[in-house]
A and B are shown apart, each in its own frame.
Chain A
């Protein structure tokens, strides 16, 4: 089978999974990214700071630096270790309609992940690694939402 001829998925899966124990050991933090949106928002628009829980902002302050790192990682992966065409979004999104669509999609991502208290990294990777029922139900819900959009709209 094709998937066994190219084992990239195995290497990438292992590397992503290792972030769970590494972040636990280095910072005793449960790995997750969605809550970083609150920190990013409060830094870019300081007036919004009072709308967020101070406790959560403090707890997640490290994630601000983590997401800055993710941007740099994206730059490095495509600029200095480039192997081919790097297209991650369809051309149709480079239009007024596309920008509005992405904004609205982003709104659902931001709202949904906060309401669910986690995203793919927080629930599907970290929470499932800890065998939590809440994270299993969250992951199922993520897929239900994605499938609803894909097959109904």
Chain B
């Protein structure tokens, strides 16, 4: 995917994330405390739209812009899926941000989110250093 397309898609995504407030620590807290259905409704709707889109793409056998067959492979299941997933969930509740929203929070002027970004960069580095020693 070329740079212009990637930046344009990123701008659209960041705009939607911010406007929908899914990047808000307060919304994430209300989700984990079951105080409002908002986040569940957004994620649920997104998944339903995603499932329908994928089923349509499979049926019509559309190719990508680069004329390749579409990649529906998904991700492998291993121990990291569960252990890493739980570790991420704790971080999500603390920071109110998953990886995409960290960048959007910075854009909105919540500059303290740079601390989250540096933490996340360090975390990805730490994982790559320890990779071979972790149960997979």
Chain A residues with a Cβ under 8 A of chain B: 3, 8-10, 12-30, 33-34, 36-38, 40-41, 44, 48, 51-53, 62-78, 81, 86-90, 93-94, 98-135, 137-150
Nearest chain B CB to A7 CB, angstrom units:
10
**Which residue in B62, B120, B128 is a CB contact (below 8 Å) of A106?**
B120
Pick 8 A–B contacts, CB within 8 A, sort by A.
A12-B16, A86-B108, A111-B88, A115-B84, A126-B74, A129-B49, A132-B74, A146-B92
Q: Interface size bucket, B side? A: 35 or more
Q: Is the CB of B85 within 8 A of A145?
A: yes
For the complex formed, measure the closest distance between the CB of B68 and the CB atoms of chain A, giving whole angstroms: 5
> Separation in Å of the A112 CB from the closest CB of chain B?
3
Give the A-B contact count at a CB cut-off of 8 A.
Answer: 471
**A88, B23: Cβ atoms under 8 Å?**
yes
Please state if A125 and B128 are interface contacts (CB–CB under 8 Å): no
A29 cross-chain contacts in B, Cβ below 8 A: 1, 71
Say how far A111's CB is from chain B's closest CB, in angstroms: 4
DSSP majority for the A interface?
A: helix
Q: Of B19, B75, B100, B134, which contacts A123 at CB under 8 A?
A: B75
Contact status A28-B66, CB under 8 Å = yes
With CB as the reference atom, state the residue of chain B lying closest to A25.
Answer: B64
Check if B99 sits within 8 Å of A34, measured CB to CB: yes
Taking a contact as CB atoms under 8 Å apart, the answer to whether A17 and B46 are in contact is yes
The 8 Å CB contact of B119, one of A67, A68, A105, A148, is A105
Q: Which of B14, B18, B51, B68 contacts A69 (CB 8 A)?
A: B14
Query: Could you say which residues of chain A place their CB within 8 Å of the CB of B118?
Result: 103, 106
CB distance from A149 to the nearest CB of B (A): 4
- Closest Cβ–Cβ distance, residue A128 to chain B (whole Å): 5
CA of A94 to CA of B8 in the docked complex: distance in angstroms?
31
Q: Tell me which residues across on chain B come within 8 A of A117, comparing CB atoms.
A: 75-76, 80-81, 84
